């Protein structure tokens, strides 16, 4: 099962996709945020174009596991994406994914500019891999 993942942010939106078996995540692209409706339409179109069977949206919880302002924005984005596609749209905890993505890229020797340009897509891949590992998709 191919899964499409989104790391929603206030200015940028990271995208990632799994392989056809739903085992390995890879970063795809970073979109610039425009409006919730325009972003949702673009996300749904990209997922459809890639043949995804599920759209996963990162959902930021605070240290106590409670949804904060970012999580509420993710809920609204998920609802908007759902209006543009028949695919299931689910939320998955994305806590610390951007930090993990930055650390992984730093460890891989990526220069600062490359990290800044790709951190959102890599964060989406981190979220997606976390979901794939947790659900045991193979």
Q: What is the mean pLDDT of residues 14-23?
A: 95
The separation between CA 108 and the C-alpha centre of its own chain, rounded to angstroms, equals 21
* pTM of full prediction above 0.75: yes
Cα torsion for 25, 36, 42, 58, to the nearest 10°? 10
pLDDT, tens digit (0-9, with 9 covering 90-100), for 54-106: 999 999 877 787 888 888 999 999 999 999 999 999 999 886 655 655 566 56
Q: How many residues does the chain have?
A: 138
Phi, psi of 50 (to 5 degrees): -85, -5
How many domains are there within the chain? 1
Q: What is the mean pLDDT of residues 107-118?
A: 60
Q: Angle at Cα 116 formed by Cα 93 and Cα 2, nearest 5°?
A: 45
User: For residue 54, what is the domain's CATH number?
Assistant: 3.30.420.140
Range of the domain at 116: 3-135
Q: What is the mean pLDDT of residues 18-32?
A: 95
pLDDT at 53 over 50: yes
Structure tokens at 120: 């959102």
């Amino acid at each position: 099962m191919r899964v499409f993942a989104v790391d929603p942010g206030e200015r940028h939106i990271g995208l990632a996709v799994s392989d056809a078996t739903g085992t390995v995540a890879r970063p795809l692209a970073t979109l610039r945020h425009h409006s919730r409706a325009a972003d949702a339409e673009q996300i749904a179109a990209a997922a459809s174009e890639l043949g995804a069977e599920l759209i996963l949206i990162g959902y930021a919880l605070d240290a106590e596991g409670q949804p904060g302002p970012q999580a509420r924005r993710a809920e609204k984005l998920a609802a908007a994406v759902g209006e543009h596609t028949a695919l299931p749209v689910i939320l998955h905890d994305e806590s610390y994914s951007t930090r993990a993505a930055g650390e992984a890229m730093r460890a891989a020797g990526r220069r600062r500019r490359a990290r800044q340009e790709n951190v959102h897509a890599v964060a989406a891949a981190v979220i997606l891999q976390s979901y794939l590992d947790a659900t045991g998709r193979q």
